[in-house]
Chain A
Amino acid sequence: MNPERLAQELVDPIKTAVTTLPEPTLAALKEAREKEEDGARVQLDAILEAVEIGQKEEIPICQDTGTPTFYVQLGADYPAIDRLDEIKMAFRGAVQLATKEVPIRPNTVNPISGKNPGDNTGRSIPWINWNITDGTDLKVTYLPKGGGSTNMSQLTMMTPGKGIKGVKELVLKRIASMEGKPCPPTVVGIGLGGSASISMSLAKKSLLRPVGERHEDPEIMDLENELKERANNLGVGPMGVGGETTVLDVKIEYDHRHPASYPVGIAPQCWANRRTSFLITPEGDIVEVER
């Protein structure tokens, strides 16, 4: 494995992530377009045209190419497990190259000085989320999430006595109050339980699941369906101009909570629900997989 070569190889999946949409998201947008009329349809037509141009001309669909974030599923028996430092270095090199070559927007600002180094790197950025799993594969999802939707994130330490009904109310209130700001139709990620930080991280992680895919736990599945249906009754509509489609999907993940705490994390994702998933072979080659 050569970290410089790997960095160069990684530019491609970053490019695919920002210039195209995953098929399930695109299908959901097309379905929404058929349901809408007037201003809402104008928005979805513009969205679908932008996606087409992005793919054809290989340019970022949206100018906000997000905070560079890699979600890594590391198999405990991955043969090149002693080379993780080099992989980390390659991630950093890849976003620097992609900033020039794709190009993507320099999106890292020092919170104290306000300075932007201009290459999409910074303290802890690109952000790498490591998860240890079984097996021999190293699977990565690149998730460039934009600032508009991220600004609508919310953590609530709910009174536990309010229960599931309280969760539903809280989520619907949030989707209503966000209006057009997170670029709807959105995918709304929800994290229940754990701790304050765990619930936020679960909310974001839930966005890794494809649009339309339901949680394996039947109770969570029902909750996702109910919240999706109710959210679409709110009338926010595409880009907040009113309409039938406020969300493309609702995703929920949960962990057990402390008896005194009921953290509810909400992480909305804009319609440009971008990502790529790929394996890094022990030799340092990239194999793109379904996203």
Chain B
Amino acid sequence: MAYVAIADRDHHLHDPQTFITKYIYSQDHKVIAIQYGLTAIFVGLIAMALSVLMRLQLGFPETFSVITPEEYYQYVTLHGMIMVIYLLTALFLGGFGNYLIPLMCGSRDMVFPFMNMLSFWVYLLSVLILLSSFFVPGGPTGAGWTLYPPQAIAPGTPGIGAGIVLMLLSLAVFIVAFTMGGLNYVTTVLQARCKGMTLMRMPLSIWGIFVATILGLLAFPALLVAAIMMLLDQAIGTSFFLPSMLTMGEESVQSGGSPILFQHLFWFFGHPEVYIVALPAFGMVSDVLATHARKNIFGYRMMVWAIVAIGALSFIVWAHHMYVSGMNPYFGFFFATTTLIIAVPTALKVYNWVLTLWKGDLHLTVPMLFAIGFIFTFTHGGLTGLFLGNVTVDLPLSDTYFVVGHFHMVMGVSPVLVLFAAIYHWYPKMTGRMYNEMLGRWHFWLTLLGTYSIYLPMHYLGFLGVPRRYYANGVTDFMPDSVQNANAGITIAALVVAATTLIFVFNMIWSLFRGEKADGNPWGGTTLEWQTPQTPPVHGNWGDKLPEVHRWAYDFSVPGEKQDFIPQTEPPHEGVVAGREHGVHH
């Protein structure tokens, strides 16, 4: 069969010879994954530092004179863009996608290793372009992370010169990098699975990454189109997005463009982007929960279907980000309906996670703690999403801190908790060592409680009508003094969480050298990556022979078995007929 030929094709193995080809220009998916991951975490820490600066300004206004209003908006913009695209997208797909797809599917590498390597280097280039905007005249763009025109390129906004140009260029370059990587992920999942690994035997991590990548491939072009067009508007004075307007008392050169068009393009990308981040998180958290609860995932087939359904629906909800831009009421009605429908498969997943825990043999390891924490934060963030999905509720809340609270709960904290869970879960496999358990627990509890202290109060601020995007609130009639106290408290919590993240970084680096040696399968995992002959897996992953898969990924605590897990590679036991056993239900 052709699939064996591809998965086992030897001349694709490009064995690395020197230090450079092994660790720098490597075509090995595991090295590329780590390169992606480290770069993403590095820019993520920068974005976190920016958020700390923002919080200092909001919590203690008029204390930090070094933060000007212009800089504040630049921090907002870069914080948002880096976190959503350069950290979350890159780490979930470039990092974990790269690491897990070949290992969990039982292949030796990605199908196009050279393109895979190129993907990382182009990604790095996009990051460098982005960071270089801090050092150009006028600084980075301060247009807000959605970069809405006309203000993104109209006088009065910080960074309308080199700043916005570099931002758009960097996005275009990132999309090229993502496309190269994404074609690899999809094709590898489709073509290079080992013998016996049918689609419905794939672990949910792979399902999440797979569907998210398809979303990315279809949605990122919209951002590319928007970026190219705005680049032309800015650089050579076309008028795609610029209407005629008075800026600084003068009539603008450009006219006739449509700012709303940009919003449609941006959100046609932007909403699927939410699920490009969320679906891999859904998948990976499912695997972490099942493994540490020693129980099969509840409703595997429904979980797969929910991932696919959410992916499909995510393309027809984008205008719920634009209710305040004004639209035909029927249009709003349609998008409110689709938005609420998407809650059905999502809620189904939450129920299934909880039911996976039900009567499980819970091992409260650090990854498990993070995974359970995710169920809480995601449910809270998701419920407030239902508020905002309704047009009439969204209109008064849209420009308040309620949105900031909702968004960070569902798209900030939740995926990040899964990332932490995933990093702790696969750390022994990636490094061959265990992390420090005590530091990990501190990290979890401080992060969970800290982020709740940050974002829960924001919902109340939102109900009071405290506007988001403001550099300072000043004195108003509708904001009581307690608003300022809440802001100060939020800032203190943010400082604690930021410091806690440094504990995590320390733990990862320290454990790399001083951590206890881990064996190949410390959690009793069933999926293929835990069955590699070496830990960490070496080049080519599987030694001489590719694995063969005989069962699904969730044979935990099967009655009558000696161990509480059966690896996917384990053949059916004697007496059990191989193949389908019709009419047998567990």
Do A and B originate from a single complex? no
- Which B residues form the contact surface with A (CB < 8 A)? none
Interface residues of A (CB under 8 A from B): none
